[in-house]
Amino acid sequence: MTCFKLYSFMAILAMVVTMANANKFKPSCYKHSCPNVEKISKEITEQFVKNDPTLAPALLRMNFHDCIVRGCEGSILLDPTPSNNETEKDTVPNSTIRGYEVVDAIKAELEKQCPSVVSCADVLSLTARDAIVAINGPYWHVPLGRKDGKISLASEALANIPSPFANISTLKQNFEAVGLTSKDLVVLSGAHTIGIGHCFIIQRRLYNFTGKLDTDPTIEPSYAEYLKYKCPQSVSDRESFVPMDPISPPVFDEKYFSIVSQGKGLFQSDAALLDDDYTKSYLEYQVSYYGATFAKDFAESMTKMIQIGPLPGAELEIRKTCRVVNNYY
C-alpha cells in the first residue's frame, strides 16, 4: 500500500522538476498504513547518533548524494552485485559515506511492523532529518511517499555529485540541473558547519595547486598553515581528516559562513561561494546577523531537495531490504 503517484514531466536540458512534487509526497502518507514510521525512525536514529554523533553529518550527506543522482529514490543504498559491480556507493564521491547501518536498522523494524509499505528512500530522508535534530539542528517536515529505484550507476554519481574542486559556475549548474537555486546552493553548503573533510581531498590545494608546488592563494595564510600541520604532504590515507568548521565543529550553527568569508573554507567549492554576488551576499548576511534565518532557510531548502523526483520512466518499487532490489534473491 502506498500513496505514491507517478507524474509525467519533461526533462529539458538535464533539468528535472522538483517543486512539482510538492503535492506528490505528504508527511501523512503512512498515517493509516504505517502510523509509527516517524516514531521508529526518530528513536532508532537518536540511539545511533547518541552513540556516535559523527553519524549526523554522514547521514545528511548520504541523503543529499542520493537525491542529486536520479532523484530521491534510494539508489545510493544499493550494494554491488555480480551483474552490477559499480554502484553509486563505490565511487570516489561516496567512498567516505557512512551510516548505512542506521537505514538498515530502521527498515528492518518497519518491515516487522508494516511489511513492504515504507520505501528505503523515505527512510533515508527521515533518518537524515532525525539525525540533525538529534544534535540540536533544525527540524523540517519530510513529505513521504517515495518509491525505490532499481538502478545504481557509478558513472552517474561521478557525473552528478558536486565536486569539492568545483568552481561557482559548475556548482550552480549542478544545482540548477535538479531544480535547485543559488540560494539552495549556499544554504545547503551551510551543512559543512558539521562533519569532516578528508586530507586526501585537499592535498593538491595545499601543496600543488597549479602544478608548481604552490598553495591555493585564496586560503587565508594562517589557516593554510593549520591545514598543512593537520594534513602533512606525506599523508595519503583516508583516515586523516580535519573538521570542516574549525570554530564550532560539533554544533549546527552559522559559523560556516564566517569561516568561508574569512578565506577558511576547507574545499574549493566552499571558497567558490565568494565568487558569486548572490551567494556572497547571503554569506555576509548570515555573518552580520548571527545566522538569523539560517535554520529556517536550511529547513526550506532540505524540504525542497528531498522532493527531487525520480527520472522520467524510472522503474520503481518498495524494497524489502535497502541494499538489493526485490528480485535479486
Read off the pLDDT of each residue in 62-79 and give the average, rounded to a whole number: 97
Average pLDDT, the chain: 92
- Provide the residue type at 180 as one letter: L
pLDDT at 81: 82
Measured over the CA atoms of residue 223, residue 229, residue 235 and residue 241, the dihedral's sign is: negative
* pLDDT higher than 60, residue 14: no
* pLDDT higher than 50, residue 276: yes
So which residues are the catalytic ones? 65
Q: Residue 193 carries which DSSP code?
A: G
Single out the residue of 206, 270, 271 nearest to residue 232, CA to CA: 206
* pLDDT higher than 70, residue 9: no
pLDDT at 21: 56
* pLDDT higher than 50, residue 26: yes
Numbered residues of the known binding site for substrate: 162
Please report which confidence band the pLDDT of residue 275 belongs to, taking 50, 70 and 90 as the band edges: very high
pLDDT at 264: 98
pLDDT at 13: 31
pLDDT 10s digits, 158-192: 999 999 999 999 999 999 999 999 999 999 999 99
* pLDDT higher than 70, residue 210: yes
pLDDT 10s digits, 225-264: 999 999 999 887 778 999 999 999 999 999 999 999 999 9
pLDDT 10s digits, 122-157: 999 999 999 999 999 999 999 999 999 999 999 999
* CA 3 to each of CA 27, 135, 243, 305, 310: distance values in angstroms, whole numbers, following the listed order: 11, 31, 40, 20, 15
Read off the pLDDT of each residue in 312-329 and give the average, rounded to a whole number: 92
- Provide the residue type at 39 as one letter: K
* pLDDT higher than 50, residue 96: yes
* pLDDT higher than 80, residue 8: no
**pTM attached to this predicted model:** 0.92
* pLDDT higher than 80, residue 20: no
pLDDT 10s digits, 278-303: 999 999 999 999 999 999 999 999 99
> DSSP string spanning 94-146?
GTT---HHHHHHHHHHHHHHSTTTS-HHHHHHHHHHHHHHHTT-------B--
* CA 327 to each of CA 66, 78, 181, 266: distance values in angstroms, whole numbers, following the listed order: 22, 13, 38, 43
* Residue 328: burial class (beta carbons within 10 Å; 0-12, 13-18, 19+): middle
Q: Which residues contact 297 (CB under 8 A, 6 or more apart)?
A: 183, 187
Q: Residue 276 carries which DSSP code?
A: S
- Count other Cβ atoms within 10 Å, centred on residue 234: 5
Numbered residues of the known binding site: 66, 69, 71, 75, 88, 162, 192-193, 245, 253
Cell of 12: 529539458
